Copies of this chain bind each other. A is one copy, B any other.
Amino acid sequence: MWEAALEPIDEEHCLELLKSVEYGRVAVVTREGRPEIFPVNFAVRGRTVVFTTGSPVVRAWAPLGHVAFEADSVDPATHEGWDVVVTGEGADITDSRDSLALTARSYAIKSWAPGRKDYWISILNPHFSGRHLYTPVPSATYY
């Protein structure tokens, strides 16, 4: 029986891992300091995480403060995988005309859920943290 292990993931690798999936969860804080979580499809360009949403709650509250975003891929059988959390400031770029916003909105974000996802949110000044979860194998000398 080998103990599970965690290994921190640096920012560059966090970004690579985020590019390997299309689905994550964003947390915003609404009135009265309540957190809400919404599943979203997202894309990454450079250090910028961008997601689309149809939720007026996200559009109302993300740009007013900080957001947290999480994506992961963990095998439920082996318990091995990774998770990445991105925190930063939410920005509603739906109608922005600056070059970052225009570039961001050109991303192909394929929405898995039906309905219009008319709001584009990006995460400014992002901080990345991630961890690998794995079960170490015995070294070759054990055989």
Chain A interface (Cβ < 8 Å from any Cβ of B): 3-6, 21-23, 25, 27-29, 32-39, 65-70, 72, 74, 76, 79, 83, 85, 87, 111-115, 131, 133
By DSSP majority rule, is chain A's interface helix, strand, loop, or mixed?
strand
Q: Which residues of chain B have C-beta atoms less than 8 A from A29's C-beta? A: 29, 33-35
How long is the Cα–Cα vector from A34 to B138 in the complex, in angstroms?
41
- Provide the residues of chain B in CB contact with A3, threshold 8 Å: 114
Q: How many copies does the complex hold?
A: 2
Residues of B within 8 A of A111 (CB): 4
Q: B114–A6 contact, CB under 8 A?
A: yes
Residues of B within 8 A of A112 (CB): 4, 74, 79, 133
Check B72–A33 contact: CB distance below 8 A.
no
Instruction: Kindly list the 7 A-B residue pairs having the minimum CB-CB distance in the complex, ordered from nearest.
Output: A27-B27, A79-B112, A27-B35, A34-B66, A37-B70, A35-B68, A37-B68
Closest CB-CB distance, A30 to chain B, in whole Å? Answer: 9
